[in-house]
Structure 1
Amino acid sequence: MTLDEVAKIAGVSPSTVSRAVRSPELVSKATLTAVLQAIDETSYVPNRAASNLASNRSGTVAAVIPAISYSVFADTVHGLEEVLSEAGMQLFLGATGYDLDREEQLVRAFLGRRPDGIIMVGSHHSPATRELLRRSRIPVVETWDWSDDPIGSLVGFSNGDAFEQIVDFVISRGYRHPTFGGWLAGADSRASARRDAFRDTVTRQLPGEQIRILDTGGRGISVEAGRWLLDRALADHPETDVLVCASDIFATGALLEAQARGLRVPDDIALTGFGDFELSQHLSPALTTIQTPDDEIGRRAGQLIIERTADLDAKPVSIDLGFTLIVRDSA
């Protein structure tokens, strides 16, 4: 179905149909009603390509995230989509699987489609990806991290500071033999920042204490990997009195494994997580964790993209949304 055919059915000119689709406020109510009825009858889909070429805008924004299945990133995407849809912009998603090569491929593919802006989870990228983004001449917003050298704008928080706070907390509660558990084999710089903060805080707070770090390796990020972490902590470091997990996913698995073994949490071993997933407050005992501003990260990133597409000369900004220590019964 073509524009001319819709115009014929509506009894108006093709230019009037185009005007009604692009700027409905510029046509009369009767004309708009006739055009919309004709579009509905014919299932006509406006071709945006020509208008996009004329305006040099695509009406789209690309977001590159580690994984769609994790609730924290799903919440960020939800906040982002809400803001962008209100502005009439469409969101494209790509998942890297924590692979820097895959991230570079996605960035190349998205930039080839000329989005109006691009949103990245994380601030650690390959040199090629950084160069692609810097040369793109479109608004770039990095999220979920903190950096002294962002590519464009930045919305997030310091993963290192957050993990330092939770380690300080468990030590203040009297735990003296903490073990870190997480996935360090992938290209997740945020997990590495949490590990480094664990090491530095234990070194500062407990001089001479062994630094215990467990990596799930090929097991990745899963509840089953969390069960494995508790198993290894008990086998390799039986003195462990608190397992400090890099994610609530791990902490959930560790809690299930502890209960299967008849261990009391936190009496026999304490557990902490990171992320404050919805399930975390409903576990028994509920998880002590770090609450992150998942939805707000998406909303603020979307707002920055909209503002900067309206003013390409606007200076990039860095917005620290912080984090919150949530104290519950697991530690």
Structure 2
Amino acid sequence: MKTSKSRKDSRSAGTVTMNDVAEHAGVSAQTVSRVVSNSPLVTEKTRRRVQEVIKNLRYIPNDAARSLASATSRVVAVVIPTLSSSAFSAEIKSVIDTLEAQRISVIIGNTEYSQEREEAIVQSLLERRPMGVILTGLQHSAHVRSLLQQSGVPVIETWDTDGDPIDMAVGFSNLTAGYDVGKLLCARGAKRIAFVGGAREQDSRAQSRYLGLCRAVEEAGLPDALRVELQMPMSASDGVKGLDLVLQQEPMTDAIFFSADTMAIPAILECNRRGIRVPEQLAICGFGDYELAGLVTPSLTTVRTKPDEMGTAAARMLLARLNGEEETSNKIVLTHQLVRRGSA
């Protein structure tokens, strides 16, 4: 009677235990644990009965306790450079949609393009014993690489495949994307081309796009592409700042490749305000194919990537590793598309 009373008191206090659920369902606590962890070692009839009791008693599983017992958690850590980008948001949504179907939660870290923040975030997230880590880009500090390699958890790097990953990678070639933009600008008759992007030590993916652009410019026999570097993270006003810096340093520039649509679109609007004709006087190309790219005048020529497909592929790649499936490759290279519109 004493045990029964204490259990009743715990339920009235809102602290329902696994033993309470087991008692009401007529099963062992181990069976309840298996139902909570979605184990296949439970019959469907028993699973439904236990789930009904969990619902009725409003039992909340103790993930922390189960994590300590199993030395892991049903959590995947995703680290991105900024929360303000719709591209990264689309990637994360696809990761969440794919993993939640397997009862796996996602925890997000935001580095703001800071190597120091990434180190602190990765260390903190690893202390939560995630099932896997999804990062942005292939360039990380030696400390981050060491932490991840020593952790033993699966690691997937996204948004870049121009190098060797720590473990696995899903993305596209930024070098090739930059080269394709350069070929387009050269083919339309540009003679002096500039690139505006984040500082190379902050954004290695933008640097790869610049190097791809330089290769196309060199093949065309044109002067070296001007490189304007801005501090990350950037805002819309940096598009105007980048435009100003290009025209100050090289007034005869007739084509600019911005490393993101968030800079290219304000640059087009500023050109319209100043009476600079786009693309007749100045061709402009962006990167990302954001929602507004097709709505400005002239509409923005840009590079379309597939962040939603990337997120799904990364999550599935992680699940395959966790399920012990044989890997055919540790790298998935997605395609990009050069979308030519009115600005170039």
Kept after mapping to 1: 8 A contact 2:157/2:169: yes
The 2-side partners of 1:215 and 1:226 are apart by 11
Local SS of the residue matching 2:94: helix
**Match for residue 304 of structure 1?**
317
Kept after mapping to 2: 8 A contact 1:275/1:289: yes
**Match for residue 142 of structure 1?**
157
TM-score, L = length of structure 2: 0.87
**Match for residue 91 of structure 1?**
106
The 1-side partners of 2:227 and 2:265 are apart by 18
- 1:1-331 equivalent positions in 2, closer than 5 A: 1-3=15-17, 4-7=19-22, 10=24, 12=26, 15=29, 17-23=32-38, 26=42, 29=45, 32-33=48-49, 35-184=50-199, 187-207=202-222, 209-217=223-231, 220-311=233-324, 317-331=330-344
Q: CA RMSD in A?
A: 2.4
Local SS of the residue matching 1:190: helix
| Residues 221/58 of structure 1: CA separation in 2 closer, same or farther (3 Å cut) | same
Alignment identity in percent? 35
The 2-side partners of 1:134 and 1:315 are apart by 21
The 2-side partners of 1:30 and 1:236 are apart by 73
Kept after mapping to 2: 8 A contact 1:185/1:217: no
Unaligned runs of 5+ in 2: 1-14
Unaligned runs of 5+ in 1: none
| Residues 259/126 of structure 1: CA separation in 2 closer, same or farther (3 Å cut) | same
Kept after mapping to 2: 8 A contact 1:152/1:316: no
TM-score, L = length of structure 1: 0.90
Kept after mapping to 2: 8 A contact 1:20/1:32: no
Kept after mapping to 1: 8 A contact 2:261/2:290: yes
| Residues 41/80 of structure 1: CA separation in 2 closer, same or farther (3 Å cut) | same
Q: Which has the higher contact order (CA 8 A, sep 6+)?
A: 1
CA positional deviation for 1:39: 3.4
Local SS of the residue matching 1:119: strand
| Residues 31/158 of structure 1: CA separation in 2 closer, same or farther (3 Å cut) | closer
Local SS of the residue matching 1:164: helix
| Residues 23/82 of structure 1: CA separation in 2 closer, same or farther (3 Å cut) | closer
For 1:231, give the aligned amino acid: D
CA positional deviation for 1:109: 1.1
CA positional deviation for 1:186: 5.1
CA positional deviation for 1:132: 1.4
The 2-side partners of 1:238 and 1:69 are apart by 32
Q: How many residues of Structure 1 are paired with residues of Structure 2 in the alignment? A: 327
Local SS of the residue matching 2:257: strand
For 2:127, give the aligned amino acid: G
